[in-house]
Amino acid sequence: MRAIAVHGGAGKKSGREAKNQERLQALQAALDRGRSVLDRGGRALEAAAEAVRVLEDSPLFNAGRGSVLNHEGKAEMDAALMRGSDREAGAVAGVRTIKNPILLAARILEDSPHVFLIAEGAESWAREKGLETRAPEYFVTEERLLQLERALAEGRTELDHTGLGTVGAVVLDDRGELAAAVSTGGLTNKAPGRVGDSSLVGAGLYAEDGLCAIAATGRGEYFMRIAAAHRVAALMQYAGLSLERATEAVLNEVREMGGEGGFIALDAQGNIHMPFNSETMFRASLSPDGKVFLSG
C-alpha cells in the first residue's frame, strides 16, 4: 500500500486562472516524482524529499527559488524532514544560498549527529558536504520583490496570501513506512532571523510509523504554540481519534487562537485528509487505489 499527499500552501485565492493551473501542474509533477521513487523501490523518506524538491525548484511557490523576502529583501529559507520508522529528523533554518534546503535537511538526517542546523553554520556544513548552492539573487523573483514593496509600504508582515505558500509532502510506502517533509521561505517582510514552524519537528511536521505523517502550512507562530503536528498524532494515539477528527480538532484550535492554514495528513492505512481554514490550499494526493486528486 502506498499514498502521497503534497501541498503548495494555504492562503487567499489569486484569481489568476493560468497561474493556478501552472501550480496544479507543478503539484502533479511533485506527485509523479514521489511515485517514481516508490516505483523503483525507494523509501517514503526519499519520496517525500524528492516531491518537495520539485516544488522548491519552481518559482511558483514560497520555497527554494521564489521564496518570499524578509525585511531586508533577502530570502531566508527553512526546511525539515522526518522519518517515521525511527523518528529521525533533519532540519535547517535561515539559509540563503542552498539551492534545495530539503536536501540539506535530508543530509543532516543521514550524516549529522545533530537534528537542527541554522544560518551560516548550516551553510558551511552544506558546502563541506558538497550540496549545490546558488547566489542569493537566484532565489529572488520579480513577484516577490513587488510583494515586499507592498508590505513595506503598508507596514505589514504577512503570509503570502496568493496561494503560493510553504510546500510539503507526506508519504506512505509499500513497506508501511511514513515520512513528512516541509520547506518554506516564511513570511513576507519578516524580521531577519525569524523562524516559523516548518523546520520545527512536532510543530510543522511529524511522522511515526503505524500512526501518521503530518505536514502543516499557515502562520507558523500559531502552529508552534500548540506543537500542532505532534498534537494531531497525540490525539490519534492517546485519544483514539481518527486522522480526520484529529486534524480537524487541531485546526480548530489554530483558528480559535486567530491563526489560519492547513494540514496534509496520512495515516498508516493510507487514509488521506487535507483540511484548511483559509480561502484555499493548493493540494494534491495519490491514494492507495491509484486515484489522483488536485485542487487549489
Residue 146 phi, psi (nearest 5): -65, -40
CB 47 within 8 A of CB 207: no
- In whole angstroms, give the CA distance from residue 251 to residue 230: 12
On the 0-12 / 13-18 / 19+ scale of CB atoms within 10 A, 258 is exposed
Phi-psi region of 96 (alpha: psi -120 to 50; beta: other; left: phi over 0): alpha
* Interacting residues of 16 by C-beta distance below 8 A, sequence separation 6+: none
Q: Which residue has the cell 514560497?
A: 62
- In whole angstroms, give the CA distance from residue 267 to residue 280: 23
Q: Is 166 a catalytic residue?
A: yes
97, 162, 166, 188: the catalytic one is 166
Cell numbers at residue 120, please? 551560516
- In whole angstroms, give the CA distance from residue 219 to residue 277: 12
- Known catalytic residues are 166
